[in-house]
């Protein structure tokens, strides 16, 4: 399936990033003729009906867009590994947050009838948007690549790391993904939102382990 980097399908002006974090999480876009579902940090969602577009904005967080093309169903998650910036995200307790986020999404797709051997997976995010040596985004990107490889999944397409936030639109019924890097000053509001989320999860336990079936 294709990966597009246009602003949107018809070239219309997009919602400002600052507005994305407010208002309804689910609404009908009359211009695009789709129901938009916003995926925020810590969220995951599986669309089982046509006509939905999953949207997220990523800084150092990462998202997986996962789809069963035979059924036309799919979903997206959005997560960040918490913990000390000097910690190795692959071996620390913080990796459990990534495992939980990935298993939650995959389990939701399996419950809807998806099959592991058919899944098409595209991954995005992991930008090193904070100017320091920790390269938090790269650690998140490494986690999602390593997790999928260990679990026997192939990545069909990816856009990871770099220095900028990203806006991602995913159409599960067709598999189409539209991604744009955000480079305007106003777009960096995503960095502040992720900092709030990181402080929140640093004080909360992982919800638990999920068994895949």
| pLDDT tops 60 at residue 90 | no
Res 204: pLDDT: 62
Give the tens place of pLDDT for each residue, 13-62: 566 776 787 778 999 999 989 999 999 999 999 999 999 999 999 999 99
Res 200: pLDDT: 76
Tokens 């909360």, located at residue: 204
Instruction: Look up the pTM and report it.
Output: 0.82
CA dihedral 174, 180, 186, 188 (to 10 degrees): 100
Give the tens place of pLDDT for each residue, 109-168: 999 999 999 999 999 999 998 766 578 899 999 999 999 999 999 999 999 999 899 999
Mean pLDDT of 65-76: 98
Q: Please give the full DSSP string across 16-43, using - where no structure is assigned.
A: PHHHHTSS-SEEEETTTTEEEEE--TT-
What are the structural domains, with CATH classification, of the chain? Answer: 3-8+17-201 (3.30.1330.200)
Answer yes or no: are the C-beta atoms of 114 and 71 closer than 8 Å: yes
Answer yes or no: are the C-beta atoms of 137 and 127 closer than 8 Å: yes
Res 2: pLDDT: 36
Q: Report d(CA 123, CA 66) in Å as an integer.
A: 9
How buried is residue 183: exposed, middle or buried, by Cβ count under 10 Å (0-12/13-18/19+)? exposed
Of 83-92, 104-113, 174-183, where does the model show the most confidence? 104-113
What's the chain's Rg over C-alpha atoms?
16
Residue 167's CB is within 10 A of a number of other CB atoms, namely: 22
């Amino acid at each position: 399936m294709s990966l597009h980097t246009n602003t949107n399908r018809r070239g219309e002006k997009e919602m400002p990033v600052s507005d994305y974090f407010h208002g309804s999480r689910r609404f009908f876009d009359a211009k695009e003729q789709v129901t938009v579902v916003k995926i925020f940090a810590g969220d995951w969602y599986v669309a089982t009906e046509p006509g939905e577009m999953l949207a997220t904005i990523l800084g150092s967080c990462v998202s997986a867009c996962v789809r069963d093309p035979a059924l036309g169903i799919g979903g997206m998650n959005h997560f960040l590994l918490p913990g000390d910036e000097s910690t190795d995200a692959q071996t620390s307790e913080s990796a459990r947050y990534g495992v939980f986020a990935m298993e939650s999404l995959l389990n939701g797709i399996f419950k809807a009838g998806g099959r592991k051997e058919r899944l098409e997976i595209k991954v995005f995010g992991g930008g090193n948007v904070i100017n320091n040596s920790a390269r938090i985004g790269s650690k998140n990107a490494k986690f999602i690549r390593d997790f999928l490889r260990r679990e026997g999944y192939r990545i069909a397409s990816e856009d990871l790391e770099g220095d900028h936030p990203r806006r991602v639109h995913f159409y599960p019924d067709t598999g189409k993904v539209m991604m744009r890097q955000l480079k305007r000053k106003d777009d960096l509001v995503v960095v502040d939102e992720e900092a709030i989320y990181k402080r929140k999860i640093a004080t909360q336990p992982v919800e638990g382990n999920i068994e895949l079936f």
